[in-house]
Structures are given as C-alpha cells and as structure tokens.
Amino acid sequence: MELLRGALRTYAWGSRTAIAEFTERPVPAAHPEAELWFGAHPGDPAWLETDNGEITLLEALVDDPEGQLGPASRARFGDVLPFLVKVLAADEPLSLQAHPSAAQAAEGYMREERVGIPLTSPVRNYRDTSHKPELLVALHPFEALAGFRQASRTVELLRALAVSDLDPYIDLLNDQSDADGLRALFTTWITAPQPDIDVLVTAVLDGAIAYLSSGATEFAAEAKTVLELGERYPGDAGVLAALLLNRITLAPGEAIFVSAGNLHTYLRGFAVEVMANSDNVLRGGLTPKHVDVPELLRVLDFAPTTEEQLRPPIRREGFGLIYETPTDEFAVALLQLDDEYVGHEVDATCSHDGPQILLCSQGCTTVHGKSGSLTLKRGMAAWVAADDAPIRLVAHEPTKLFRATVGL
C-alpha cells in the first residue's frame, strides 16, 4: 500500500483554486487546473511513493501484475487497471462531447492506427481501445447538461422562447418518434452552414433574454445556460444543441452516470469521476479543441432520457454509500466515518480480491493493510494492491473516503 500522487492536467476550463485548495497547495494556482488523474492510463499515470522512490502505477503493474491486480481482475481485464479516478474542477463549460461503446472504440482505434494518426495528434479521436462509461459524484454543487431530453418537453422549451425561426425545427420533433426527431434536429443544427447557425443562435439568444426579462421561471435555468454558452462560444452550433439536453444540478454526494453515446457537457463545479480506463472523447462543439461531427454522430445515442434515469441508485451498507452502476470496470463507494466511528478501527472489506484506490475528500484517517499503514488527509490518495487487502480504517476526525474498485 502506497501513497498515490495524481497526474495534474491543466485546461483553460479548469480552476485556479479548487484542486489547489483540495490538495493544500498555494492558491491561486499558476494555471487553470482541470483534472487530477489517479490511475494507470498510459497517457498520464499516477505516481506511487515507495520506499525506493517514486515509480508510476503503470510500472508497478508491469513489475507485479498478480500482486497488484489479483486473479479476478486479471482474468477479466488482463494486466491493466480497468478504471481511472479523477478529480475534476470546472470553472467554465467543457466541450459538448460523447464517448464510444467498447466496439466503437476498438474499431475507431484500429481505423486511426491504419491511417497513421499519431496517438499524440490533436486530431486523434481514439487514444485507446476502451469504452468510457463514467460516474461523476459532486464534491461541491455541480451543474451539467446530459442526455437528450424528452422531445415533448423540448418542444415546450422551444415554444417558450417564442422564436419564430425555431418553428420548422419544432415540426421535426412533432412529426416522428422521439429518437428520430432528436436525431434529425441535432444533425440539422450541428451540420448547418455557418451563416445559418449565426442567424439562429442570435435569434435564440434574443429569445432567451426576452424570456428571462418577462419574469418567467419554468425554463429560466435553460435560458441562462444558453446565454452563458452563447457569450463564450458565439456562433457555435453547440449553443443550440444545449437546448436539447437535460440540465442537471447536483448537490454534494449526488451523482450522474454517463453511458456510451450520451451527449453531455459539464458546466461548472468540483467533483470526483470514476470511469473505465480510457481517454476517448468525441467532440461536437463548445471548444477550441478538435471537433469531429461525423464521428460524434456515429456514436450518439438519441434515445431520450430523464434526469432521474441519469442518477444512479445509491444504497447504504454500514458506513458506506454504494453508487450502483452497470459496469464491470469499476465500482464506487463513499465511506463516511462520522463521529461515532472516530477513534475506532473498522473493517473496510471488498467483495472481491481486486485493487483499490482510496481518495480522501474530507477529514483524516489511517489505513491499515497487510503491508503496512498510511494516513490520508483531504486531497490525498492511496493505492491498495490486491495482496494488501483486506484493509482497516481508523478515522481521527469525521472523514469521507471515496473507494474505487473493480466492479466484479
């Protein structure tokens, strides 16, 4: 068992304060800090602090796959860690994006390999062969757009904006099934000539201003979001696409699960993400990065969903909250050691013999495993190899600890 030092990624949409404060470093940071990766993805592996110095988690897995991963994980996923833990801090909206299925990722990766697109190229879509289902759990209030809204509800929103230029597009939703209508409308907008987009975005922004000025409240959050996106990305078709997605606000501890093909963007907030070990992203707008609309359209799932369907079931087991997700690659629990547990040693057993990543989001606790002990404070993480389990915890104050494991 070792301390795990995350790999920091800086993007323009990140925060100069959130991750720095979380990890108790000077604030503000020199650059916007967007993500802190705890995992063994080849693109940015985390670092283990061992008695012999630092090595990457990727190197540790190569040196001792059986001891680090255990037989169950190796039998299912081979000699790789199948999940990735991130801390995400967004002060500005992320790109409009979706992730491929496992089959789409494998095919897309091989296609780009055949044509010789380097893995480090900014126009590369598929950087590995894995799908990327992801669970996001809010640490602070978090706002997102995710999943296509029910078409009837979107019609109500578009009509509320009272923009005559939207009338033909409303007909697209009314004249066919929800999924077909959403596919037709999104495809029309995302592939429209730029002059047409400029006119329509301007009209929609004017409609949003008029709607808010009227004092109406039913779609106030959606109208404000469109105005924010329009200001940051003028003339971007993603501003229109935002009208089609569920707008979600998460309180701390609440979560959403994003499956393959789910169109989404995170607007702002601070959260923990756990996902399959992948960096495959297909972007459609709201970003200066590479956008590949045809490939995005190929992977999108246009079946409408609701906010309730995007929120995973959560069940309590002792001092843990279990976020139920339909994935073999990962399982996530939030271990909450309240006052009643402070100073007492408690077992924190897993249902299988795989590896664990522990991330402390509040408080201070000592973790005891077969190979030794270490103490985690807020912003610190630990790698628990398969042969280090089971572990025991002693909280020194009320503590919250995220635990990511293989989902077997």
Among the candidates 211, 239, 267, a domain finishes at: 239
283 flagged as catalytic: yes
Q: Are residues 266 and 388 in the same domain?
A: no
Q: Which of 127, 247, 283, 403 is catalytic?
A: 283
Domain around 325: 315-405
- Kindly report whether the peptide bond that precedes residue 195 is cis, defined as omega within 30 degrees of 0: no
Q: In this structure, is residue 244 part of a structural domain?
A: no
The dihedral of CA 166, 204, 241, 142: what is its sign?
negative
Annotated binding-site residue? 368: no
- 362 in a labelled binding site: no
- At 54 the pLDDT is 94
31 and 48 housed in the same domain: yes
* Structural domain ending residue among the three candidates 198, 216, 239: 239
Give the CATH number, domain containing residue 271: 2.60.120.10
Residue 209 lies in a domain: yes
385 with 279, same domain: the answer is: no
Do 111 and 6 share a structural domain?
Answer: yes
Q: Is residue 344 part of a domain?
A: yes
Is there a domain that residue 76 lies in? no
**97 assigned ligand-binding residue:** yes
Supply the pTM of this predicted model. Answer: 0.96
Q: In which residue are the tokens 């199948």 written?
A: 82
One domain for residues 207 and 283 = no
Residue 162 domain flag? yes
Q: Looking at the structure, do residues 283 and 332 belong to the same domain, yes or no?
A: no
Whether 301 and 263 map to the same domain: the answer is yes
- Same-domain status, 99 and 167: no
Residues 129, 105: one domain?
yes
- Structure-block tokens of residue 97: 């994006």
Specify the number of domains making up the chain.
Answer: 3
Long-range CB pairs of 212-216, under 8 A, 24+ apart, other chains included? 216/160
273 and 140 belong to one structural domain: yes
Listed residue (163, 397, 189, 394) closest to 297, CA to CA: 189
Pair (31, 138) in one structural domain: yes
Give domain status of residue 36, yes or no: yes
Q: Are 407 and 72 in contact (CB under 8 A)?
A: no
Last residue of a domain, one of 209, 239, 269: 239
Q: In Å, how far are 135, 254, 257, 263 from 138, measured between CA atoms?
A: 10, 6, 12, 19
- The answer to whether 356 is annotated as binding is no
Q: What is the pLDDT of residue 351?
A: 63
Asked if residue 90 and residue 36 are part of one domain, the reply reads yes
pLDDT along the chain (408 residues), means of 10: 97 97 97 98 93 93 96 95 98 97 97 96 94 98 98 97 96 92 97 97 98 97 98 96 98 98 98 96 95 97 97 96 96 97 89 88 97 96 95 97 95
Looking at residue 348, its pLDDT comes to 86
